[in-house]
Structure 1
Amino acid sequence: MTLYHFQMIDPTGARHDLRSLRLADIGAVWREIQSVAADQPQGGQIRVMNDAGGIVVLVGVSTARSLQARHAA
């Protein structure tokens, strides 16, 4: 399992650490992103980094919510 770090980047560019989780695969990362997006204001971005500090996913809150809605349909 890989350790992933989830951060919120607000519209001003400030970064906020949300949580770090060990997850089995990228599907689990996207499920966590959808959970995070539900609680965040529009206009921000969700950044997910791996344990080495590489960016795995960088997605806007609005886009994450839109992807969730399409997946649910």
Structure 2
Amino acid sequence: MAMEVYNVRIIARAVVMRYNAGETNVGAVLDSYSLSEEDRTLVLAQIAATNLGNPDGNIVSESPV
């Protein structure tokens, strides 16, 4: 079962904050939250939908920048 929407938003913001603080491996950041594949996809979609990441969209990629 997928996470509640508010939890997805909270984790999406946390991922962006950690990315902005210097953790550039988004995949590793997401792994630290022990998300299911479904929840991981929802978090990435939330980041992309709200434009929380960098203007060039690097945050949405799980590969190191």
- Which TM class, normalised by the smaller chain length? 0.3 to 0.5
TM score, norm. by length of structure 1:
0.33
TM score, norm. by length of structure 2:
0.36
Which structure dedicates a bigger proportion of its chain to strand? 1
Which structure dedicates a bigger proportion of its chain to helix? 2
Greater RCO (CA < 8 Å, at least 6 residues apart): 2
- CA radius of gyration, larger in: 1
